[in-house]
Amino acid sequence: MKTPVASEPASHQQPELWRQLQWVAQVLLHIRSGVSGTAALEEVPLPLRPGVQSLAFAVLRQLGRAEALRALLAPRKPSPPADALLCTALALVWQEASAPYEVFTLVNQAVETAKRTPAMRAQANFINACLRRFLREREALVNATQNMPVARWNHPAWWIKRLQTDYPEQWQAILEANNRQAPMTLRVNARQTDSASYLQQLEAAGIAAHLSGASGITLNKATGVQNLPGFDAGWVSVQDAAAQMAAPLLLAGLPAGARVLDACAAPGGKTAHLLEMHDGEVTALDIDPERCQRIEGTLTRLGLQAQVLVGDAAHPKTWWDGRLYDAILLDAPCTASGIVRRHPDVRWLRRETDVAQLAQTQAALLKALWPLLKPGGRLLYCTCSVFKAEGDLQIQTFLAHNTQARKIPSVGHLLPKSTAIGDAVTDNQGIDHDGFYYALLEKSTV
């Protein structure tokens, strides 16, 4: 990623808003070119990163509306850098009540960004004219976009249609939840402490929080992990409440000493949770060597040990030692359509064709890993997706072709903001969580 060029050195005081907008537009530009938001934000200078991330997430959650407004203001699309800045500004100012700064300040600073950035300096007057016109004609322009689905819901048209098909009654609630900020939820390491005790530690540190599930705690306001008591000592991990359901589902009734495989394990959150709950042999597998190092780092901080292997779960012959597993966790690659509120760039990065392609990958992983499971053993299939092609439909197809497999009632499809569909586990209702899918499969002994 190329660094935006400023016309003067950075201040050592509070970062100027124009400089933050400069980086937000750069992040958007790279997301539009296919770079993940995480990778784009890693290029932002550390002093600027928190503010830029906050603004960038706000922009991504309103990008559909911003692009529709830009099309009305400038039917002839400007250059990519100028368009990124113009859409950034429109996303932040179109709802005056929720704007992060006073709207005239945002407009003035966006124009200042254009003037100070060589790639868009020649279009500074054009950007100024568009934004000033928007402020004058706000009501008419917003009304003109109100019936455009992409503008109304800030998701691609294909995504909206898929949710309408999958969830005829809940699709609007899913889209609305996706545009809200996700909570920061912690998983307490049961080998170190317990939820009630750690909640007291948080209270003593002045951090307001509440219990969330068997081993979860949700903070009333997100904070840096450096502020969490005992984080470096491994007392807690950051993990959404939906992801915390994996280990308890898989381990229920599993005897001590059982052999467990966590396939597609990076960055290691679910591996760690398995080890926090289970006294047995746990193997963590991932295809990416660098991501395996992240697993090792996660386990080291928590004081846990597992066999970490680099290998492709779809090709067991390259890494499997031939011993069957008592339990397998398959957290399969997916569209990540269930964690959009946490990663708002996902909706703009994904393409409609990705769903079928990823469904093929998931089917291949199920087919490859099922023979590695002992008779009587269990495989937990999960994805952080709300699309049924990656959940119920995937499992229905697998069951139709595997007579040895039976589905045990489990969670099924979880929608963001604690709505469950399918075989619901009632003790998890009312918890704020991401969208997810779980299916627990048991292998017959005959």
Residues known to be catalytic: 384
Q: pLDDT by residue (tens digit) across 66-93?
A: 999 999 999 999 999 999 999 999 999 9
* Cα 377 to Cα 263, 279, 404, distances in angstroms: 15, 17, 11
**282 occurs within a structural domain:** yes
Residue 265: the pLDDT is: 96
The pair of structure tokens assigned to 54 is 């906050």
45 and 189 within one domain: no
The pair of structure tokens assigned to 191 is 């080998």
Residue 418: the pLDDT is: 46
* Domain around 220: 185-238
Q: pLDDT by residue (tens digit) across 312-337?
A: 999 999 999 999 999 999 999 999 99
Mean pLDDT of the 330-355 span: 97
- Would you say 269 and 243 are in contact if contact means Cβ atoms under 8 Å apart? yes
Q: Which residue has the higher pLDDT, 424 or 157?
A: 157
Instruction: Among 114, 138, 154, give the residue marking a domain's end.
Output: 154
146 and 197 within one domain: no
- Would you say 399 and 365 are in contact if contact means Cβ atoms under 8 Å apart? no
**414 occurs within a structural domain:** yes
**177 occurs within a structural domain:** no
Residue 14: the pLDDT is: 66
Q: pLDDT by residue (tens digit) across 385-424?
A: 999 999 999 999 999 999 999 999 888 999 987 444 444 4
- Would you say 386 and 337 are in contact if contact means Cβ atoms under 8 Å apart? yes
Whether residue 208 has pLDDT greater than 50: yes
Q: Helix (H, G, I), strand (E, B), or coil: what is residue 322? A: coil
216 and 121 within one domain: no
Q: pLDDT by residue (tens digit) across 275-299?
A: 999 999 999 999 999 999 999 999 9
**176 occurs within a structural domain:** no
**172 occurs within a structural domain:** no
Residue 26 is part of a domain; what is its CATH number?
1.10.940.10
42 and 109 within one domain: yes
Mean pLDDT of the 48-53 span: 96
β-partners of residue 260 are 282, 327
Whether residue 218 has pLDDT greater than 60: yes
Query: Sorting pLDDT into bands at 50, 70 and 90, what band is 126?
Result: very high
Query: Sorting pLDDT into bands at 50, 70 and 90, what band is 377?
Result: very high
- Which residue, 54, 44, 153, 35, is CA-closest to 99? 54
376 and 268 within one domain: yes
Q: Helix (H, G, I), strand (E, B), or coil: what is residue 56? A: helix
Mean pLDDT of the 185-201 span: 96
Q: pLDDT by residue (tens digit) across 93-124?
A: 999 999 999 999 999 999 999 999 999 999 99
**411 occurs within a structural domain:** yes
Number of domains forming the structure of the chain = 3
230 and 97 within one domain: no
**165 occurs within a structural domain:** no
Residue 322 is part of a domain; what is its CATH number?
3.40.50.150
| Burial of residue 138, with CB atoms counted within 10 A of its CB: 0-12 exposed, 13-18 middle, 19 or more buried | middle
427 and 296 within one domain: yes
Q: pLDDT by residue (tens digit) across 12-31?
A: 456 899 999 999 999 999 99
What pTM was computed for the model? Answer: 0.92
Instruction: Tell how far CA 90 is from the center of its chain.
Output: 24
Q: Which residue has the higher pLDDT, 308 or 410?
A: 308
Residue 156: the pLDDT is: 98
417 and 307 within one domain: yes
210 and 233 within one domain: yes
Q: Helix (H, G, I), strand (E, B), or coil: what is residue 91? A: helix
Mean pLDDT of the 192-198 span: 95
Residue 232 is part of a domain; what is its CATH number?
3.30.70.1170
Whether residue 7 has pLDDT greater than 50: no
Residue 13: the pLDDT is: 58
Query: Sorting pLDDT into bands at 50, 70 and 90, what band is 214?
Result: confident
Handedness of CA 230, 234, 239, 243 (dihedral sign): negative
- Which residue, 39, 31, 101, 103, is CA-closest to 61? 31
203 and 95 within one domain: no
The pair of structure tokens assigned to 176 is 């609305």
Residue with tokens 């998890």: 428
* Cα 240 to Cα 87, 95, 184, 200, 257, distances in angstroms: 31, 29, 7, 20, 27
Dmax over CA atoms of the chain, in Å, equals 75
Instruction: Among 177, 211, 238, give the residue marking a domain's end.
Output: 238
Residue 212: the pLDDT is: 87
| Burial of residue 75, with CB atoms counted within 10 A of its CB: 0-12 exposed, 13-18 middle, 19 or more buried | exposed
* Distance in angstroms (rounded) separating the CA atoms of residues 305 and 298: 10
142 and 208 within one domain: no
Query: Sorting pLDDT into bands at 50, 70 and 90, what band is 365?
Result: very high
Instruction: Tell how far CA 79 is from the center of its chain.
Output: 30
Mean pLDDT of the 429-443 span: 88
Rg of the Cα trace of the chain? 24
**51 occurs within a structural domain:** yes
Instruction: Among 154, 177, 198, give the residue marking a domain's end.
Output: 154
269 and 370 within one domain: yes
- Kindly give the residue spans of alpha helices, DSSP state H, lying in 95-232: 103-116, 124-136, 138-145, 149-153, 157-166, 171-178, 195-204
Residue 5: the pLDDT is: 40
